[in-house]
Amino acid sequence: VSRELRRDPLSGDDVIIATERVVERPPSPEHALGREQCPFCPGHESHTPPTIQAIERDGRWVARAFANRRPALVVEDPFRIDVDGPFQAATGLGAHEVLVECPDHGALHHQPVERTADALDLARRRLHDLRGDRRLRVLQWYRNHGSAAGASQPHPHAQIVGLPVVPGRVGRMATRARDWLDRTGRVLLRDVLEGEVRDGRRILFREGPITALCPFAPRHPYEVWLVPSEVRPGLADATDEEVEGLAVAMRRAVRALALVTADAAYNAVALGAPEGEDPRGIGWHLRLSPRLLTTAGLEDATGVALHAVFPEDAASDLRDALGRDQP
């Protein structure tokens, strides 16, 4: 097995190449594992790497984390960046964990909200713990739901990846936030949230300290952001109240998205600041992106996304769905 994190010398985009990944392709729905073979169902703990951390209720785990069996990057690799002229490659150092989010095999948004809250609490704890490894510059949480979104197991699970370098996209976000701060003396994410609330057309709902909205320039049709009122660097910094609000908001938003998109696959990502950076830079927020389209040449050629749904219309459809949802 070999793995490397290489940077495109022209675009600055990064790629992880891990030879082990080749053998793993998301199964088509008819080949998805049932409960009997599911490695994430209770009783099958020996089918996964050992538990690193778990949340328990009544003496049984309700969420548990372990190392990814086919990791993109591993903590055991030494850290080294090799630069040869324009070519930069880092060794395969990093973190890649799987978080099984609930004991039940069914979709998380059909389960009581406590399951989502415990799953997000475990994510926060793992991110906090991984911070101790100062070699990791960027820590991000994400979840794939549905094979079109890259999920290789139907059992609800999320992942955390830790990278030894700040990738191009995260670096650009950090730079934009810093430039905004220098120019205006204000925090960019706070200004975005205040602007959205003032405008109102793209707001879906407010749940405690979390606001759900359709972003001004969505990369994906029906993209939804969940934004906390207080700007903090990472999901690791979220308060108990924010995790609880986020759980309710994520479940509500995912249920509404399922109604509007006919249960399309989606990705959820918690974006945040590079580790150890100015906390007034990027603040954490969660993005839900339904996978309704495959990307094509335009995206590859220009980096510009193309789709057919204005966020003002998406917000209107989603508000209708929220009104119809019977939790």
Give the footprint of Zn ion on this chain (CB under 5 A): 38, 40-41, 105, 155
Q: Which amino acid appears at position 47 of this protein? A: H
Question: What CA–CA distance (Å, rounded) separates 161 from 167?
Answer: 12
**What is the token pair recorded at 207?**
């749940």
Nearer to Zn ion, 43 or 323 (CB): 43
Nearer to Zn ion, 90 or 151 (CB): 151
Query: Cβ neighbours of residue 110 under 8 Å, at least 6 residues apart?
Result: none
| Minimal distance, residue 44 CB to Zn ion, in Å | 8
52 with 123: CB under 8 angstroms?
no
| Minimal distance, residue 315 CB to Zn ion, in Å | 34
Q: What is the DSSP letter of 277?
A: S
Comparing CA positions, the residue from 22, 18, 24 lying closest to residue 71 is: 18
| Minimal distance, residue 40 CB to Zn ion, in Å | 5
Question: What CA–CA distance (Å, rounded) separates 327 from 248?
Answer: 11
Nearer to Zn ion, 151 or 315 (CB): 151
Nearer to Zn ion, 105 or 190 (CB): 105
| Minimal distance, residue 156 CB to Zn ion, in Å | 8
| Minimal distance, residue 43 CB to Zn ion, in Å | 10
Nearer to Zn ion, 112 or 195 (CB): 112
Closest-by-Cβ residue to Zn ion is 38
Nearer to Zn ion, 92 or 156 (CB): 156
Scanning the chain, the segments in alpha helix (DSSP H) are 113-130, 168-184, 188-199, 240-260, 297-302, 311-324
- For 197-226, b/e burial (b = at least 16 CB within 10 A) is eeeeebbbbebebbbbbbbeebebbbbbbb
| Minimal distance, residue 101 CB to Zn ion, in Å | 11
Nearer to Zn ion, 153 or 211 (CB): 153
What does the chain come to in residues? 327
Question: What CA–CA distance (Å, rounded) separates 145 from 151?
Answer: 6
| Minimal distance, residue 18 CB to Zn ion, in Å | 25
Question: What CA–CA distance (Å, rounded) separates 76 from 99?
Answer: 20
